[in-house]
Amino acid sequence: VENVRLLDRLSSRRAVVGTLYLTATHVIFVENGSETRKETWVLHSQISSIEKQATTATGCPLLIRCKNFQVIQLVIPQERDCHDVYISLIRLARPVKYEELYCFSFNPKLDKEEREQGWHLVDLNEEYNRMGVPNNYWQISDVNRDYRVCDSYPTEVYVPKSATAHIIVGSSKFRSRRRFPALSYYSKGNNASICRSSQPLSGFSARCLEDEQMLQAIRKANPGSDFIYVVDTRPKLNAMANRAAGKGYENEDNYSNIKFQFIGIENIHVMRNSLQKMLEVCELKSPSMSDFLWGLENSGWLKHIKAIMDAGIFIAKAVAEEGVSVLVHCSDGWDRTAQVCSVASLLLDPYYRTMKGFMVLIEKDWVSFGHKFNHRYGNLDGDPKEISPVIDQFIECVWQLMEQFPCAFEFNERFLIHIQHHIYSCQFGNFLCNSQKERRELKIRERTYSLWAHLWKNRADYLNPLYRSDRSQTQGTLHPQIAPCNFLYKFWSGMYNRFEKGLHPRQSVTDYLMAVKEETQQLEEELEVLQERLASLQKSQSSDNKVKSKQQDRSKQFGLYTSNNSLANTPQEYSNDLKSFPSRSPSQGDEDSALILTQDNLKSSDPDLSANSDQESGVEDLSCRSPSGGGCLPSEDSGKDSDEAVFLAG
Amino acid sequence: LLRSSQPLTGPNRRRCCEDEQLLGTILDEGERGFIIDTRSAQAAKQARMGGGGTEPKSCYPQWRRLHRALDRGRSLQESFIRLVEACGDSSLSMERWLGRLDSSRWLSHVKAALSTACLAAQCLDREGSNVLVHGAEGTDTTLLVTALAQLILEPSCRTLQGFQGLLEREWIQAGHPFQLRCARSASSHARGKQEAPLFLLFLDCVWQLSRQFPFSLEFGEQLLLTLFDNAYASAYGTFLCNNERERSLCKVKESTHSLWAWLNQPEEKHKYLNPLYSHNPLVIWPSVEPQSIQLWQGLFLRWIRPSQHLDEAWVEIQRLVKGK
């Protein structure tokens, strides 16, 4: 569709005109500029909702809201066309079969071996071994090898030594969805552990010997403590209400040596609504400070984030300081349980604060333990009541921790944002389906690629320059302040306003420091080389010249950072009353020049933008195609990682 | 960029041809200027009853008046006190923290101040027009706007030296009544009538700029904190008294030491420099969206939040940059 306008939320004057394309996998908007043909790509998987608004004199507005919080406001001249686009997008954004998803057609041009290697990058068996199991207290159990005990659990789980198959099976029958207590994290130093399960089917008075034995087994697996904590992450009222439905929580009288604790994290529906309200605040036009703060408070979002964090802190403390094992559950043990266990693990074990460790953590507590990615993030069209920003909240907890402990994580904010992005993008197969069983049935590993390999390949972009493994923050347990600390929770505009470039500092401190770090390292290495050379007496001229030319290349590379500093930014509208202040629209050149990323610019600052980068919204590789009304479609692998466009400019 | 106090139009709409002439000489034939009045249109009108007022359009035809109401005095002080109380209230649950933060209105004041300064800067930079800023007395919100506007527009004000010069010119010599405004701060019960944290508001706005443009200011948060401290209680004479006349009468220059002299010593200076600084010759336009304006934790939570990890990060940044 031609002559479509793309509006800017902050400045209605900055609308651009272009052509809108719909492909099998993307929506693409290409600006009509003479030089700059900026392209905005959106994967259908990312589309959360489409809203057709009332036709005005200027055309028919269409609002596309994405799961990665991008909001695209288009104005299509003809109502007929707008309707067609609307209907098409509705269908495209609601795939019915897995095969419709992008990951099955995405081709980063890797061979079979590389694809397989990518999937083996994260190995959970290695991880459990690293933790120190199996050992005298914990064993690996294959009782679920055909998924016959619990179809949402993995085939291999770790259980206490004294938990026989009989006990496991018996306990699974007494747990919602048969999700029996299994090991999530083992603390080598003091044998304390974090186990996870779902709620017991205790109703008002039901008991199960095997389930009670299971909890005893967990306690016995930690000789250093004579009791375990059982943490129910639900609000007490909800848990009690569940009893009427034959479920509920553990009665301290029935289970010997447990201390029971409610933590009070709200359910998925509350969280869905909370996010919705927060996004509404983000969409306000020219909000006042009050609009924003009240809106944010009203959404309750930060309160929920804090609740999850507090739960993780409680569990980490129990394990690290008291040396007591903890059994965590919620209702079904696949949402709040996953959040809380992974936050606790992150606090306890510095390994999970490394890039590799973080990937392992997500694989372990989210992927392998059957978090319902498909239902929660809408891979396929499904029940809207199942949708909830569960992993988004976990990812935000990590960001909040990064803000409080800037040296503690090996990775940076961009890493988190890209992971969140790809959980929804379905470009990689890691987060498809609802369980390991479903993924194996679909043969995900043979038919799609792993996100972890892609991120690992580009890991230079995701490093935190302040990370040093010998800092106090990076060793041992992190101790976030519990109270007073409300003010420590900030609104994450890098995530929820990700695509609003005007909001973010134009110069990335992280990128600058990484560049400085690299440059220093290279200069140090070079110094060594030169010193050696000096020591062994000068040789011919040519070797000196080689060194000189290398230096020049590097300064060109880092020249980008100093020149970045002098990129002008444009003022937003400071005057709400347009009538009283007639101002010229800022020259288009200023801001846009920052966004025109030529091949050279990209090369010098973003090391690996080759084949398997995603083609989301942002700047495309301008040299390699020219879409013309239905003509040649770009091949998947010639795109640049568009997220880089956002961060380079911002 | 010019500043003044309000014209004494009064209820009888007095005129003053010298004043009209003065403003007339600033503009060329046919040129247009802007007057930014930091009071609401209503407040400015009401000021006439007390002998003050605004420049009537008929007498100053080339000047276009814009009103941007900025809080000062009593209400600003109340805002400050409420914010400090909210920060110190450990019983506050997460559910009510943001509401308390908002009802203090402090961040709204920051937003308004930055917006107005940007407006002034836009008039100068984008419209190429002359701008006159005044409120009532010309000693409070006026200086806030003119000082911030210069930081936005002028790279030389963003160096350590330049910033000191800006403070000297736009706050100290311009006659901001420090002694009256910075007597008691937020916790004192003896609430002086003239007490108002305009200078702190200015420093907060500067901090917002430093956060949005981390490479563009030669100085860091530590300088701003030191200035805040010294405005209220100081071993140096720089912020004493209310204006140059009083300083002269009290022989401040002869009997005290200058804060600047101390700060600029090499062994002190390095503490205040921003290791990320790189000269930015362009205008820096801040975002005044609510998401972009944050609570200045380093000041308001200075004694409340644990700073150990953030200090470590700062040391690491300096180490990385010095290594280069």
Read out DSSP for B113-126? HHHHHHHHHHHHHT
Give chain A positions within 8 Å (CB) of B293: 289
DSSP state of A177: G
Q: Residue B237 has what pLDDT?
A: 96
Nearest to B324 among A290, A516, A572 (CB): A516
> What percentage of chain A exceeds 90 in pLDDT?
69
Q: Which of residues 140-199 of B touch A (CB under 8 A)?
A: none
Whether pLDDT at A482 is above 90: no
A-interface mutation test, from B98, B107, B304, most A Cβ less than 10 A away? B98
**CA–CA distance, A615 with A40 (Å, rounded to integer):** 9
Name the average pLDDT for chain A. Answer: 83
Work out whether strand A26-31 and strand A326-329 pair parallel, antiparallel, or are unpaired: unpaired
Burial of A628 (0-12, 13-18, 19+ CB in 10 A): exposed
pLDDT at B309: 87
Tell me if A335 is assigned to a ligand binding site: yes
Q: Are A483 and B89 in contact (CB under 8 A)?
A: no
Domain-located, residue B34:
no
- Band of residue A540 on the pLDDT scale cut at 50, 70, 90: low
Tell me which residue in A471, A566, A572 faces B280 most closely, judged by beta carbons. A566
Instruction: Please give the average per-residue pLDDT across A506-527, as a whole number.
Output: 89
Give the residue ranges of DSSP H helices in A352-443: 355-362, 373-377, 390-404, 413-425, 436-441
**Structural contact between residues B317 and B257, judged by C-beta atoms closer than 8 angstroms:** no
Nearest CB among A292, A517, A571 relative to B320 is that of A517
Using CA atoms, how far residue A435 sits from A144, A194, A373, A625, in Å, is: 13, 21, 8, 39
Tokens of A629: 């009304």
Is B189 a domain residue? yes
In terms of Cα–Cα distance, which of A370, A430, A429, A455 is closest to A101?
A429
B95 vs A contacts (CB less than 8 Å):
297, 300, 303
Mean per-residue pLDDT, A192-210:
96
pLDDT value, residue A130: 97
pLDDT at A484 over 70: no
The response to whether A325 counts as a known ligand-binding position is: no
Query: Cα–Cα distance between A229 and A213 in angstroms, integer?
Result: 15
- pLDDT value for A471: 67
Asked if B139 and B38 count as a contact pair (C-beta separation under 8 A), the reply is no
Contacts of A10 in chain B (CB under 8 A): 289
Alpha-carbon distance A561 to A598, whole Å? Answer: 15
What is the number of domains present in chain B?
1
In a domain, B66, yes or no: no
Q: How many CB atoms lie within 10 A of CB A382?
A: 15
Active site amino acids of A: 330
A336: annotated binding-site residue? yes
Cβ separation A505–B320 shorter than 8 A: no
Residues of B in contact with A497 (CB under 8 A): 291
Residue A562 CA to residue A560 CA, distance in Å, equals 6
Query: pLDDT-based confidence at A155, cuts 50/70/90?
Result: very high
Per the structure, the complete domain to which residue B297 belongs is given by 71-123+138-146+159-323
Structural domain contains residue B180 = yes
Max intra-chain CA distance, chain A: 90
Q: Is A490–B92 a contact, with Cβ atoms under 8 angstroms apart?
A: no
Cβ distance A303 to B94 less than 8 Å, yes or no, reads yes
Widest distance between CA atoms in chain B: 68
Check residue B88 and give its pLDDT.
87
Mean pLDDT of A138-149: 96
How many angstroms separate the CA of residue A22 from the nearest CA in chain B? 33
Question: Which tokens hold the place of A217?
Answer: 């087994």
Residue written as tokens 């923050």?
A473
* Burial (Cβ within 10 Å: 0-12, 13-18, ≥19) of residue A541: exposed
**Chain A residue closest in CA terms to B116:** A574
User: How far does Cα A536 stand from its chain's mean position?
Assistant: 52
B276 CB neighbours in chain A (<8 A) are 509, 512
Beta-carbon separation of A484 and B96 below 8 A = no
The pLDDT of residue A11 is: 67
> Which of B63, B106, B289, B296 is the mutation pick for testing A, counting most A CBs within 10 A?
B289
Q: Beginning with the edge strand found earlier in the chain, give each strand of the sheet holding B63-67 in spatial order.
A: B2-3, B131-134, B33-37, B63-67
Q: What pLDDT, on the 0 to 100 scale, is given for residue B186?
A: 83
Q: How far apart are CA A358 and CA A305, in angstroms?
A: 19
Say if CB B257 and CB B177 are below 8 A apart.
Answer: no
Residues A464/A513, Cβ–Cβ less than 8 Å: no
What top-level class would CATH report for the domain A4-94? mainly beta
Nearest to A334 by CA among A151, A473, A171: A151
- Nearest residue to A408 (alpha-carbon basis) of A488, A340, A476, A460: A476
The average pLDDT across A487-503 equals 89
pLDDT, position A387: 96
Pairing of β A60-66 and β A326-329: unpaired
Q: Which residue has the higher pLDDT, B120 or A535?
A: B120
**A516 contacts B320? CB cut-off 8 A:** yes
Q: What CA–CA distance (Å, rounded) separates A273 from A484?
A: 27
Strands B131-134 and B2-3: parallel
Rounded Cα gap, residues A484 and A570, in angstroms: 39
Answer for the pair B169, B140: CB distance below 8 angstroms, yes or no: no
Please give the C-alpha separations between residue A123 and each of A72, A130, A298, B109, in angstroms, as whole numbers.
39, 11, 42, 53
Is B220 inside a domain boundary? yes
Cβ-defined contact of A406 to B288 (cutoff 8 Å): no
B301–A487 CB contact, under 8 Å: yes
Q: Which pLDDT band holds residue A613 (cuts at 50, 70, 90)?
A: very low
Q: What is the pLDDT of residues A230-250, one digit of tens each?
A: 999 999 999 999 999 999 999
Q: Which of A421, A353, A646 is nearest to A511 (CA)?
A: A646
Q: Which residue has the higher pLDDT, B198 or A486?
A: B198
Residue type, A358: F
Question: What pLDDT shows up at residue A242?
Answer: 94
Chain B residues whose beta carbon lies within 8 Å of the beta carbon of residue A505? 211-214
Which is more confident, A133 or A486? A133
Question: Rg of the Cα trace of chain B?
Answer: 21
Contact B291 A503 (CB under 8 A): yes
B108/A288 Cβ within 8 A: yes
Q: Residue A328: beta bridge partners?
A: A196, A231
Rg of the Cα atoms in chain A: 27
Length in residues, chain B: 324
A383 annotated ligand binder = no
pLDDT (average), residues A168-191: 96
Which tokens sit at B93?
A: 């649950």
Q: Residue B53: helix, strand or coil by DSSP?
A: coil
- Least confident segment among A127-141, A393-407, A601-615, B32-46: A601-615
Among B64, B92, B94, pick the best mutation site for testing chain A contact (most A Cβ within 10 A): B94
What is the per-residue DSSP string for A194-232?
EEEE--B--TTT---HHHHHHHHHHHHT-TT-S-EEEEE
Residue A441 carries which side chain, given as an amino acid letter?
E
- A85 min Cα distance to partner chain B (Å): 32
Which ranges of B105-240 does DSSP label H, i.e. alpha helix? 106-125, 141-153, 160-167, 178-181, 198-212, 221-232
Please check whether residue A408 is in contact with residue A372, taking contact to mean a CB–CB distance below 8 angstroms: no
The interface pTM score, or ipTM, of the predicted complex is 0.93
**Residue A647 clears pLDDT 90, i.e. is over it:** no
**Between B303 and A353, residue with greater pLDDT:** A353
Q: Digits of tens for pLDDT over chain B (324 positions)? A: 999 999 999 999 999 999 999 999 999 988 999 999 999 999 999 999 999 999 999 999 999 999 999 999 989 999 999 999 999 888 888 888 999 999 999 999 999 999 999 999 999 999 999 999 999 999 999 999 999 999 999 999 999 999 999 999 999 999 999 999 998 888 766 667 899 999 999 999 999 999 999 999 999 999 999 999 999 999 999 999 999 999 999 999 999 999 999 999 999 999 999 999 999 999 999 999 999 999 999 999 998 888 888 888 999 999 999 876
SS (H, E, C) A97-114: CHHHCHHHCCCCCCCHHH
Residue range(s) of every CATH 2.30.29.30 domain in chain A: 4-94
Lowest mean pLDDT among A277-281, A373-377, A553-557: A553-557
Measured distance CA(A60)–CA(A50) in Å, rounded: 13
Please tell me whether A417 is known to bind a ligand: no
